[in-house]
Structure 1
Amino acid sequence: MNARLIFTALTFSLTLAVWTRAAERPNVVIFLADDQGWGDLSFHGNTNLATPNLDSIAKQGASFDWFYVCSLCAPTRAEFLTGRFHARGGVRGVSTGQERLNVDEQTFAEAFRDAGYATAAFGKWHNGTQYPYHPNARGFDEFCGFCSGHWGNYYDPLLEHNNQLIRGKGFIVDDLTDRAIKFIEQHQDQPFLCYVPFNTPHSPMQVPDSFYKKFADAQPAMKNRDPQLEDLAMTRAALAMVENLDWNVGRVLKKLDELNLTDDTIVVYFSDNGPNSWRWNGDMKGRKGSTDEGGVRSPLFIRWPHKIAAGLKIEQVSGAVDLGPTLAALAGVKFAPQKPIDGRSLAPLLLGDKQELPERYLFSIPINKWRNVSTRSQRFRLDSAGHLYDIAQDVGQRQDVAAKYPEEVAAMKQAAEQFRSEIRTQMEAKDRPFTVGFAPLTQLPARDGKPHGNIVRSARAPNCSYFTGWKQADDKMTWDVEIGQAGKYEPIVYYAAPKGVVGTKLQLSCQGKSTTAEIVAEHDPPAYGPERDHASRGSESPVKDFAPLSLGVIELPRGDAQLILNSPELTAEQGPEIRMLLMRRID
């Protein structure tokens, strides 16, 4: 029998066995931190902060010593959702559409939904904004948060709930947690999958003063292995943000206790990449963006009382690709995508059925340099330059042992080359257009558009930016789109404009059709966000409260096209600033 078929049969048998151990299928709650390093936990020995609630998940369940994610956010999310290396699913960046997970990829959330679970996600999605890339189209019945990779303000922010724009309430992480708790309360009598991808400690470095005051004047005792690189303001803010995460996770754990759901709920906690600054990280080399240990090693804690032994430590190398298959196996849910997965169920390790699984390789690639494959085996890491490190003995990657283990080097180089050949087609694929009309409302943020002429982004990072700098009538912005349904659409522009811009006409055109509307009201809100930062926000854009303006109705054809937003005439020395174009399908 084919080895893959044998493995699939064994996995399915284990799934059925696990399911029979529980009277009902367990609930699943998954917390994903954003830019939290392996070292940002007191459980891992960091005395700079206290994370008792996060630590409790590990103490009451299992902790993984060698768990790996990707070097940046969107790729990790794709691997977690599909059980496949992100490059296979078309994710090759973090913005301008490269973060999108191909629509023919199946997520484990779809499997849980199809098995009768109530499913929801609250937080940062980062695998596509427009349907059918949107989380509501990828297995989550409910979604509240934002689909971008960055957000410029964490207080009362603009969010969306099931593809409808809303205004958040208070500090974003507290708000997302409130919504997750409400979902758990509403679905306590049926199995549920609650995914909470938090957006901190990602910049901007904002956190309530009640958490920051502890660190405002702190002198962290534990520093990065290269202390001259450490930004103390960034470290202080990150520590405060992690303690806020800990508090919010504690709120969810407390709610599970109150509802008598603790024993029937699998709780998972991990992060999406290494730390976003140089701070203590267990002597590891690298940080976010790097494929060295410090950039891709993440905490992973999994708790399921009376099923997973308290205090279990797992030294088997594992990765984000394993989480979907593992949760499906534990819950008795059939997750059998048509495409072969790279991950495997870790249920045998968690349930004490096995001490270790067969040897295999995990691969890491940096964004925009996909040929630079870093390969991890159970013992070694071979970086893209051919240096070999014995990680168990040298987690800091200080001594190259390639000359000592030539056979390991040869085998790992061959595996890396095979992986490169397998992902080449996806990595070199042409850019995909943004989809319009696959749902009644489509968001086309400035992030997904292209500026022309004098128009520029409000910040270097596209994610939460807006278009500004409009000076001439022939300046414009465009969106390359795939229109899923021909027909009439109402374009709605979110704009900001001082009094002098009143009277300016905006025009949206597409393949010879156009619609025009005049700006009749001044809307000149201030930019805000940085005043709440506790450290430099770097490339994050400030935000503004933009106003909607309907441009009337336009007839759009089905298929690939380009939407062009321009002004046939300017009434001032500048045009409006543009945050977003919404396309409302008129059925």
Structure 2
Amino acid sequence: MFASDRPNVILIMSDDQGVGDYGFMGNTVIRTPALDAMHARSGFLSRFYVSPVCAPTRASLMTGRYNYRTRCVDTYLGRAMMDADEVTLAECLRDAGYRTGIYGKWHLGDNYPMRAMDQGFRESLLHRGGGIGQPSDPIGAEGKYTDPVLFKNGEEVAMQGYCTDIFFGAAMDFISNSAASNEPFFTYIATNAPHGPFDDVPTELYEEYKNTDLSPLLVSPLPEKRREAEFDKLARIAAMITNIDDNVARLFAKLDELGVTDNTIVIYLNDNGPNSMRYVGEMRGMKTHVDDGGIRSPLVMHWPARISAGTMSTQLCAHIDVMPTILDACQVPLPASRKIDGRSFLPLLTNGDAEWPTRQVVFQAHRGNVPQRFNHFAIHENPWKLVHPSGFGRERVAGEAKLELYNLEEDPRQLDDVAAKYPEIARRLTQAYEDWFADVSMSRHDNFAPPRIVIGTEHEPETVLTRQDWRHVSGRPWGGASNGFWLLNASQAGEYEVEIILDSGDYPSGTATVTAGNAVGQCEIVAGKQRGHRTTLALPKGDISLSVELTLGEQTLGPHQVVLTR
């Protein structure tokens, strides 16, 4: 045991694993024996909610606050960056004497001052952006789940093995080192699996699931011509999920070996609904949906020292509650400088008579730069759900909102809209939502302004700008012919080298024009050359926007990535 009686903490969150992708949640196809065993000996929240997409969930998980307070409002185009002034769970535990490490997916900013290593994590081993296989991948290592190029404490490093195995292995090394130094630890394992792309999955497990009847996972019949492709994708997803489960087994074996299982909290959850329309139990929906299948997750909390096996609570809990709960368990105060929206659910799992006053919790996420009232939201107050499932990818037309009301105790599939039957409840929850929206929209001055990447500091001498964080202007956001700009803050005036990187070498020669405020630079683009096209700019101190326009033959487009070095 550690000298301190404070518990260690391991927080595990998978990416796009749905609420039904577990044996203990009724899935008869996907094997999760380690998670099933963990559930049997843990506390369990059966009515736990997350956001419909990943970055908003991660912002709430790390801060105990609704993501609209944190400037993180979407999953890309600069809107998955979290304001650097937020106080994170890692910062609170670090300041209380914990060793802190993160392994896998951060997705709250790839550049200073928003990286995990800037936000309280002493050690980090991460991919950039929202997942491997996205435009933020390192050049030459695009889409590699096996033998990926990752970022260890900010430095690019080539790894060997499958990504999930790598992340758990590095986390276990961190835990072992913490045990050896007799320090309490906080380990955040955020897998990028089973997020797509699906072409690189654990081979043996994939072969197993290819020969398995996956039809029980379907929620509606498929035409024959689509079945083969859908079953192949499901086999790949199932292989990734069982691989995570295998690593959970490895993790508990390591805790047993180190003798720290009893006083180590292990929490497992997923970040949003499943990444296909598949089994979600007695619910409907998938990732991006605000129906229950899109925003439910099991939450399993293993802590033998305090939580009895089989303890379960049906109270309404959510991602905003994880930070208050962990800090409560670790006897660390909440940050006094921030309004915390969540509450500790620890008493629900340690005290059978714990009071849990009726509460309302809101979930909203959609594309776009600024959140809109009534667009793709749900407000919950047990047993009621008031929802406007207008769609994640479309902005609401004024006057369109037709709100639906469901009693989830009687109608978990949301088949019977009872708004007309209970108009007073619908009105009350509508007003509660409007009050919530007004509150989270006024958390700070210019509340929904995108965060800025800070350049020219000793913390990040070389800044890599990717399409993950640009502000989109034209074309499909990540399409080859698209363009955008980056919002930056130069920490000091100076000369900067600008390297322009294309997405491949399959382009003719041409020119690049780089603009940052009043500064303009040009360079030649050499045919067949992906990177190494350079110019210099004299940049003033302060806020600037930087854009690059490439003229290549008949095409006008933006860069794939840009590297700035002062």
Would the aligned equivalents of 2:43 and 2:307 in 1 still touch at CA under 8 Å? yes
User: Residues 551 and 389 from structure 1, CA distance in 2 versus in 1: closer, same or farther, beyond 3 angstroms?
Assistant: same
Which stretch shifts more, 510-519 or 128-137? 510-519
| Aligned equivalent of 1:40, options 21, 29, 41 | 21
Give the Cα separation in 2 of the matches to 1:562 and 1:30. Answer: 37
Superposed displacement of residue 578, structure 1: 4.2
Contact 1:106 1:337 in 2 (8 A): no
> Which residue number corresponds to residue 389 of structure 1?
406
Q: Which residue of 2 aligns with 1:437?
A: 456
After superposition, residues 540-579 of structure 1 pair within 5 angstroms as 547=531, 549=532, 551=534, 553-566=536-549, 578-579=559-560
Equivalent position of 2:173 in the other structure: 182
Following superposition of structure 1 onto structure 2, how do residues 333-372 of structure 1 map, counting pairs within 5 Å? 333-352=332-351, 354-368=353-367, 370-372=372-374
The 2-side partners of 1:496 and 1:297 are apart by: 37
Is residue 433 of structure 2 the alignment partner of residue 416 of structure 1? yes
- Post-superposition offset of 1:484: 2.5
CA distance 1:61–1:555, shift in 2 (3 Å) = same
- Check conservation: 2:13, 2:271, Cα contact below 8 A: yes
- SS where residue 191 of structure 2 aligns? strand
Cα distance in 1 for residues equivalent to 2:541 and 2:412: 54
* TM-fit CA distance, 1:221: 4.8
Amino acid of the residue matched to residue 332 of structure 2? V
In 2, the alpha carbon distance for the partners of 1:306 and 1:450 equals 48
Instruction: Spell out the pairing of 1:160-559 with structure 2 (5 A cutoff).
Output: 160-188=151-179, 189-205=182-198, 206-228=200-222, 231-352=230-351, 354-368=353-367, 370-372=372-374, 373-384=377-388, 385-425=402-442, 429-438=448-457, 439=459, 440-449=461-470, 460=476, 462=477, 465=478, 468-469=480-481, 478-495=485-502, 498=505, 501=508, 506=512, 508-513=514-519, 523=529, 547=531, 549=532, 551=534, 553-559=536-542
Name the TM-score, length of structure 1 as normaliser.
0.82
Correspondent of 1:117 among 98, 103, 109: 98
Q: Does 1:95 align with 2:76?
A: yes
Matched position secondary structure for 1:219:
coil
DSSP 3-state at the match of 2:262: helix
Segment drifting more, 214-223 vs 187-196:
214-223
CA contact (8 A) 2:454 2:490 kept: yes
Does the residue aligned with 2:414 lie in a helix, a strand or coil?
A: coil
Q: Which runs of 5+ in 1 are unaligned?
A: 1-20, 471-475, 524-545
- 1:508-555 per-position Cα deviation (integer Å, ceiling 9, x unaligned): 4434545666667955xxxxxxxxxxxxxxxxxxxxxx65x2736543
1:10 is aligned to none
- Report Cα offsets for 1:219-256 as digits up to 9, x if no partner: 22523433349833332222111111111122212111
1:337 to 1:143, Cα distance in 2 relative to 1, 3 A = farther
Query: Percent of aligned pairs with the same residue?
Result: 34
Count of aligned positions = 525
SS at match of 1:66: strand
Q: Which moved more, 1:298-307 or 1:504-513?
A: 504-513
> Over residues 277-303 of structure 1, what are the superposed CA-to-partner deviations in whole Å (9 max), with x where a residue is unaligned?
111110312111111111101111010
The structural deviation recorded for 1:215 is 0.9
1:14-25 map, 5 Å: 24-25=5-6
Q: Report the residue type matching 1:415 in the other structure.
A: A
Structure 1 Cα separation of the partners of residues 557 and 379 of structure 2: 49
Letter in 1 for 2:65: R
Aligned to 2:137: none
Equivalent pair of 1:157/1:168 in contact (CA under 8 Å): yes
In structure 1, give the amino acid aligned to 2:381. S
1:78 partner amino acid? A
Distance 1:517 1:252, change over 3 A: farther
User: Quick check: 269-278 or 94-103, which moved more?
Assistant: 94-103
In 1, Cα distance between the equivalents of 2:508 and 2:420? 68
Runs of 4+ in 1 over 6 A off after TM superposition: 572-577
- Could you tell me the TM-score, scaled by structure 2's length? 0.85
